[in-house]
Amino acid sequence: MEESQNQVKLVLPGKRMAITKRLTIESVNLGDQREMDALVDQMFTAGLARVKAEGDKLRQKGLLDSQGNLVVKELPADMQEGADRDFGG
């Protein structure tokens, strides 16, 4: 089984040709543990890439340091201790 970013290539026993498909919760064979493992790996890989991209954006904006810690610790006026809050309800 080979993986790319959004697709998994399955080589089925007795078949000469590999089948390539993008695994989704709708398309995965729930009875095939290899496909389920590939789906989970695919989801974790995609999720990690999204988290890293968001962290990079926050670092570029100066909101995170190189260790991922918040640089800005100020809260907006309505979120500060003792602020009069109106939630519109």
- What is the sign of the dihedral through the CA atoms of 35, 1, 50 and 62? positive
Q: How confident is the model at residue 25 (pLDDT cuts 50, 70, 90)?
A: confident
Residue 3: predicted pLDDT: 47
Angstrom distance (rounded) from CA 71 to CA 27: 42
Residue 11: predicted pLDDT: 58
Backbone angles phi, psi at 63, to 5 degrees: -95, -20
Assess contact for 6 and 42: CB atoms under 8 A. Answer: yes
Average pLDDT rounded to a whole number, residues 39-49: 91
Angstrom distance (rounded) from CA 50 to CA 54: 6
Parse the chain into domains and list their residue ranges. Answer: 2-66
Give the global pTM. Answer: 0.54
